[in-house]
Structure 1
Amino acid sequence: MLIMGMLISFFGCKNSNQLENEDSNQKFDWVSTNSISQTDFKILNKSNQVNIDQSEIGKDIHLSDLISEFSYLQLKNKEGHLLGDIDKILFTDSLIFVMDQYITNTLQVFERRTGNEVVYLEKSGEGPREFLEIYDFDIDREKKQILLFDGKLSKVLFFDFNGKFIEELKIPVRAQNFRKLKTDDYLFFTANLPNGHIEGLTDCVYFILNSEFQVKSCFSIEKKLESHGNYFSRDYFSSDGHDIYLFPRFSNELFRIDGKDEVLNQLVSVKLEAGIEKQDLVGEGLSFVDDRKKDRKFFSHGGSFVTNRIYGLEFRRFGGRSFYYFESLVSNERFYGSNINFDLPGMPFFSFPISSFKNVAISVIKFQQLRNLGVEKFKASLEKQGNLTLDLSDFLDNVIDFDQPAILIMEFK
């Protein structure tokens, strides 16, 4: 079905030159390097090695094998506010936190039950309590706090879930992404941004900071992968609400991060026969893209999610469907392929999840094509196929703005 393929969404990447054009380290002169150590994280549990040959790439993935319950929700802004695109989502049992990084550069909070906006944080300046540009954010569910990372001003601002400012702390490294670890430490991904002010640690890609945002240690996993090119995914970290997971770009390995014991626990290593190899990591940026358009090889770019029942990985390619790998944490059953079978009534839309918590994952659905096709024509097509349910019909009838992203909320078997 054409509309299904058209609505499988992709989220893009950013150029490292856009992240930080300033090479001066003047604003980091206060950083002390006496107690910082460069650490080689041990990689444990390498037993789950999965080899996928060419004949298995195009296998069907039946959504009915994965998903037990699902619902759609359109996010609704207050008058005068705009949600241009969804670049990152985190959520609790009652709230959904959305970062629109490139169009409005805002952090917005919505009720999970209604989709109504409750908080709208936008850039305000360079002074105390203000931020200039949101690079990333995280949430502390226990303390009910939003942690907003301003990469331009190199600081993290803390807000409560109602959007009230609490405090801010300076960050001693240039970075792109971060996550709060369960130890109250913080993990920052530098994306090859210059951190020469931290003596002797210029080869580090990941920095661990303590609760006061002082650098404790740093590490890299595979320098060849992490240093190639200058285009980076919007988020390499995923979380089940308890642990933090890492799926490095161009890698085939998913890790659970144990910052306390300085260990990376490998959940899986997926070897694709049609995937890129280390020898393919040549050229920079656009030349790498041109090579992949020619050979159509699959590559990872940070797409992963982990719930308490299942985890998934996405491998992309140019000129063709992505390859998806799912593995049950309950039965160890594997589901993989590049063809999504829409065999769940009322579920004609699907995109790979970009956020997870407990046994729930959320993905982004876009409706621009429906505006051109027409809701009634689309519903008639679904009804003819036996795929139109009352819930889906009501949802489509109540879509107010086809340019406003919606979300797909899924629970897994």
Structure 2
Amino acid sequence: MKTKYLSLYSLLFFISCSQNNDIKNLYTNESTSIINIQEDLKQISHLDSVFNDVTFLPFETKEECLISRISTLKISDSLIFINDNRRRLLIFGKDGKFKIQIGQSGEGPGEFLDLKDFIINKDNIEILDFKKIETYNFEGKHLSTKRFDLSDPKKYCNPDHFNYSPLGGYYLWGGTFGIKEFGAEYDRYMMYHVNNDFKIQKGYFLIEHGAGSSHNRFTKYNDNIIIDPHFGDYNIYQIDNKGIVSSRYFLNFGKNAYRKKIPIPKKNQRETYEDLSNYVLSFNDFFETDKWLHLTFQYQNTVFSALYNKEKEKCFLLSAANKNLKPDEIRYWGAYTITKDQLVMPIEANWLKIEFDRLSPQYMKKINLNQYKDIKESDNPVLVFYKLK
């Protein structure tokens, strides 16, 4: 699997022929790298091909911090921040002990209607709510409220992700929820740059169809903001420290890519559409280190993880659905975030208990898994840390 660097004109032709829609890529340049993902998705690698070590961290289980499902997970220094999809932001220590809940759901001062995304700063946290941003310190004290309204009919934006812009203000990722009409005449974009007064400065990624979700739309690598791709696009985009948006990588899925415009079902019309599950239509959970790229994608209702070694220019495939897992290999469930050279995934306690019956005693001892044999199915989730080679 080789990474190919094409000329600008060759790359534009390649993308125009290979993308799964006909949106023109205005952000491609000659530095965009082509990453080839193997077409034979039955070639699943062993976990040891990618990771040096696997460790576990159970979250403390107490009444005030019971977690049903983790929507967003972020790690900063010695703290772990969780949006548990119940309009709560919970903070745990690196030892798994519960520390504090930040803010609460409500319509009063310092409360939020929704917890869509959050940014962790040195000494405070900003929470993206509906038409406002609430700021708290790490002790839970409310510091400020910033309100905005971007409900112009032609530039509607109800953001579900945000990030600071190097040009000042924020990047807001709007999604398509609530938007019924798409197209250039509406001048609606997936991402907007707004200044500190929340005035729109520029729009990026014209909306032409509905978009999928993402755990982390924005991540960081070196001085770049990396954008987890939107539905119907095979590019990984970056924003550099000058605010320039460009395609960083193009993912070539070969015959598994959809090469036509994604059909949008029309109201009150009976039409037959081909089975799109036979194609890779989108991917997410993109993370980058100095040596590795990580992403997940779905094909024929099976979720795969692709890990690309930049030094060896080789792609490795893993899948939690792999039926041929050996007793010396714990399942890889994917990644919600990354900390240094470790991919991190929260899993249900029950998932770990299932692995106890499959793994060999020797392997259980090797990864120190026996210490968690007494875990209960009703306990809080467990973080799995996969250390990249």
* TM norm. shorter chain > 0.5: yes
Within the candidate set 53, 59, 62, 1:69 is matched to: 53
Structure 2: gaps (5+ residues)? 1-24, 151-157
Deviation at residue 206 of structure 1 after TM alignment: 0.6
Superposition map of 1:7-156 within 5 A? 42-52=27-37, 54=39, 56-101=40-85, 104-112=86-94, 114-121=95-102, 123-140=104-121, 143-151=122-130, 154-156=131-133
CA contact (8 A) 1:241 1:356 kept: no
SS of 1:361 mapped into structure 2 = strand
Residue matched to 2:143: 166
Residue matched to 1:337: 317
Aligned pair in 2 of structure 1 residues 185, 64: CA closer, same or farther (>3 Å)? farther
Letter paired with 1:44: N
CA contact (8 A) 2:307 2:317 kept: no
CA contact (8 A) 2:107 2:113 kept: yes
Within the candidate set 278, 282, 307, 1:326 is matched to: 307
Q: Distance in 2 between matches of 1:364 and 1:239?
A: 20
Q: 1:296-336, CA deviations, whole angstroms, 9 ceiling, x for partnerless residues?
A: 322214332223431212111343x323322234x153223
Residue matched to 2:17: none
Residue matched to 2:18: none
Q: Distance in 2 between matches of 1:231 and 1:317?
A: 15
Q: Distance in 2 between matches of 1:52 and 1:360?
A: 22
Deviation at residue 295 of structure 1 after TM alignment: 4.5
Letter paired with 2:287: F
If asked which structure has higher relative contact order (CA below 8 Å, sep 6+), I would say 1
Within the candidate set 303, 320, 335, 1:353 is matched to: 335
Deviation at residue 342 of structure 1 after TM alignment: 5.8
Q: Distance in 1 between matches of 2:266 and 2:213?
A: 12
Letter paired with 1:275: A
Q: Distance in 1 between matches of 2:303 and 2:251?
A: 17
Q: Distance in 2 between matches of 1:237 and 1:354?
A: 12
Within the candidate set 216, 231, 240, 2:201 is matched to: 216
Q: Distance in 2 between matches of 1:408 and 1:182?
A: 33
CA contact (8 A) 2:192 2:204 kept: yes
CA contact (8 A) 2:126 2:134 kept: yes
Aligned pair in 2 of structure 1 residues 166, 398: CA closer, same or farther (>3 Å)? farther
Q: 1:154-195, CA deviations, whole angstroms, 9 ceiling, x for partnerless residues?
A: 111111223222212113432121123455542111112569
Structure 1 residue 411 and structure 2 residue 363: aligned? no
Within the candidate set 203, 210, 215, 2:188 is matched to: 203
TM-score after normalising by structure 2: 0.77
CA contact (8 A) 1:185 1:210 kept: yes
Structure 1: gaps (5+ residues)? 1-39
Q: 1:125-164, CA deviations, whole angstroms, 9 ceiling, x for partnerless residues?
A: 2232121211121212xx232111112xx11111122322
Q: Distance in 2 between matches of 1:131 and 1:147?
A: 11
Aligned pair in 2 of structure 1 residues 115, 207: CA closer, same or farther (>3 Å)? same
Which segment is superposed worse, 304-313 or 230-239? Answer: 230-239
Aligned pair in 2 of structure 1 residues 183, 92: CA closer, same or farther (>3 Å)? farther
Measured on the aligned residues, the alpha-carbon RMSD in Å equals 3.4
CA contact (8 A) 1:138 1:179 kept: yes
Q: Distance in 1 between matches of 2:70 and 2:309?
A: 27
Letter paired with 1:273: K
Deviation at residue 212 of structure 1 after TM alignment: 4.8
CA contact (8 A) 2:338 2:344 kept: yes
| Percent of matched pairs sharing the same residue | 19
Within the candidate set 204, 208, 233, 1:227 is matched to: 208
Within the candidate set 277, 289, 294, 1:312 is matched to: 294
Deviation at residue 250 of structure 1 after TM alignment: 2.5
CA contact (8 A) 2:224 2:241 kept: no
SS of 1:115 mapped into structure 2 = coil
Aligned pair in 2 of structure 1 residues 322, 233: CA closer, same or farther (>3 Å)? same
Letter paired with 1:48: S
